[in-house]
Chains A and B, each alone.
Chain A
Amino acid sequence: MSDHILLPEGSIEKLSTTLNLGPTHPATHGVFQNILELDGERILKATSTVGYIHRAFEKLAERRPLYQITPLTDRLNYCSSPINNMGWHITCERLFGITLPKRVDYLRIIIMELSRISDHLICNSIVGVDSGAFSGFLYLMQFRELIYEIYEEVCGSRLTTNIGRIGGFERNFTNKAFEKLEQFLATYPKQLKEFENLFNRNRIFMDRTIGCGAISAERALNYGFTGPNLRAAGVDYDVRVHTPYSSYEEFDFSIPVGKTGDCYDRFLVRNQEMWQSLSLINQAYNKVKEFKGADAEVFHADVPAYYLPEKKDVYTKMEALIYHFKIIMGETDIPAGELYSSVEAGNGELGFYLISDGGRTPYRLHFRRPCFIYYQAFEELIKGGMLSDAVITMSSLNLIAGELDA
């Protein structure tokens, strides 16, 4: 009888089970493949495969004028596209040597901190979902909707925002945008408090996350961790403080740090960062309100050679038409130079390494994607743990497939 059963050689003797977690799996929230060697439910070895949604952004960027690269950055970390957009605009502005009016800086901070909140709230509520607590997700999700409505008022789109332009914003914030912002500032703290009440001291949640997927500060630095994941391990590195951009140096905020670098600390750090972001938005909004009269109409720097003019001006004004044509057709040469510029994105240091040879497009553009760099620690983080810990570790690292694969 035994000759009828065609088992691969060695498969009987093998003591471990091989399991594919992904590429598409409801628990991975994205396209990730992990080939796990399991002993029962314990993970002996993990092999991560990435690249399922690689879209060749760096190659594309070599054939595009700078303003056409902004939509590519949307699709990196699509949970917080505006930060990526701003990071790219800031890189270009540094290359051109443009200084922005203060009001634009403050408006940018409002948008960037809103998107940090929307990024963190997704991550944290998904950690809840993956550990079996669904209601926190529902409570917070409606506020992401409100944030997206604010984006919509400012730039017209919600997820892949393409918000702002090199040199400022495409239009001034409408009153509706400020109204929605006020509504957000008035209602979100209460909901976030409730979310924290549900989770922070919840015995089940704590047992589930404490000690799970932990990394020491030393290993985290060696692995190139940045952002909340590094801060959860106890290193207070934040680009907003270390290399301030967009007038962050004028603001008063603190950097929450964790201690153990496990899922629970990452969760707490992200929650605290949302409070800090709320405070930053409040401060920035108060500063914006101080601008009166003509100053309150400023929403971009006066750099006609680089700033894409408003469409209504293009139809009615000669200069605007000329600059519009020059920018769209790529007739504006960009200065030659080599520049690394970074911003603190939802997941850490999002860097742009731009080499320009003076043509119409970058000679080389490299995105330093925080996700891509810290994902390589995943194999080490889940080794020896349970299969279900791998799922929760993945969601608490906030892996975004778009940022991973670029």
Chain B
Amino acid sequence: MSLTNELIQQKLTDKFGDKLIDWAQPYGMLTFTAPKELNLKVLQFLYDDPELMFQFLTDLQAVHYPDNKGAELAVVYHLHNLTDNIRLRFKIFTDINNPDVYSATALFAAANFMERETYDFFGVNFTGHPNLIRILNVDEMDYFPMRKEFPLEDQSRVDKDDEMFGRG
């Protein structure tokens, strides 16, 4: 295990300068934020660099932060270097009104379904995806259900007082 979080951070900073921000290591996993135009460049660099070799896409999903105006949707990539057994996570933020993000399908075949799922639930529009259609929800659905403005329970109900249960 020669590769460490610090070394990865150093290499990425050498390459991309101060464009990568919010470096942190929650629970030991290196985490940072990249500008959304650079997502493929970062993925490609992490993939190609002979030392980094992050060639396994573990997971890809989105998170909705409605209060984060202008950058409501975060797309989160989890990558794994299987040789050195080290993982990292990076995020890109995008405006919910312009949720265009470059698709990683050319690099990872695994990204196909994951991006379709992310599109299906959050409406992130992955440009360059070969078949960006709904995957788990019905085709007729006209909204993106995992966004926070869609509450789980029917808010018009008056017979349940959620205040009693700390749900507010």
Contact = CB atoms under 8 A, between A and B. Distances in A.
Do A and B associate with each other? yes
A331 B29 contact: no
Nearest to B26: A338
A58 interface: yes
Given A337-B26, A353-B59, A224 B136 contact: no
Contacts of B63: 355, 363-364
A13 B130 CA distance: 28
Contact of B152 (A60, A222, A331): A60
Contacts of B145: 56, 59
Contact of B110 (A224, A337, A366): A224
Contacts of B167: 63, 330, 360
Nearest to A47: B131
Contacts of A219: 109
A181 B153 CA distance: 43
Nearest to A377: B109
Interface stretch (B11-19, B82-90, B93-101): B82-90
Contact of A368 (B29, B31, B59, B136): B59
Contact of A353 (B78, B85, B112, B152): B78
A326 B166 CA distance: 11
Interface in B25-84: 26-27, 29, 31, 55-59, 61, 63-64, 76, 78, 82
B27 A366 contact: no
A376 B137 contact: no
B145 to A, nearest CB: 6
* Size range of the chain B interface in the assembly: 35 or more
A182 B150 CA distance: 51
A237 B110 contact: no
B108 A331 contact: no
B8 interface: no
B114 to A, nearest CB: 7
Contacts, number: 96
Given A51-B136, A338-B27, A373-B110, A330 B58 contact: no
Contacts of B57: 224
Given A224-B57, A337-B26, A59 B109 contact: no
Contacts of B134: 51
Contacts of A360: 166-167
Interface in A280-305: none
A391 interface: no
Interface centre among B63, B82, B109, B150 (most CB of A within 10 A): B109
A242 interface: yes
B102 interface: no
Contacts of A94: 27
A376 B113 contact: yes
Given A51-B137, A58-B146, A340-B89, A351 B58 contact: yes
A339 B82 contact: no
Interface in A31-72: 50-51, 54, 56, 58-60, 62-63
B166 A223 contact: no
A94 B27 CA distance: 8
Nearest to B76: A353
Nearest to B107: A222
A375 interface: yes
A366 B109 contact: no
Nearest to A53: B136
A253 B78 CA distance: 28
Contacts of A355: 63
Contact of B109 (A60, A223, A331): A223
Interface of A: 50-51, 54, 56, 58-60, 62-63, 94-95, 219, 221-224, 235, 237, 242-243, 329-331, 337-340, 342, 349, 351, 353, 355, 360, 363-364, 366, 368, 372-373, 375-377, 405-406
15 contacts: A54-B137, A58-B146, A94-B27, A222-B110, A224-B57, A330-B166, A340-B59, A351-B58, A351-B78, A360-B166, A366-B59, A368-B59, A373-B114, A375-B113, A376-B112
Across the A-B interface, give the 8 residue pairs with the lowest CB-CB distance, nearest first: A224-B110, A51-B136, A54-B136, A376-B113, A368-B59, A366-B61, A63-B152, A222-B109
Given A54-B137, A58-B121, A351-B59, 15 more contacts: A50-B135, A59-B145, A59-B146, A59-B150, A60-B152, A62-B152, A221-B82, A329-B165, A330-B167, A337-B27, A338-B26, A338-B27, A342-B58, A360-B166, A376-B109
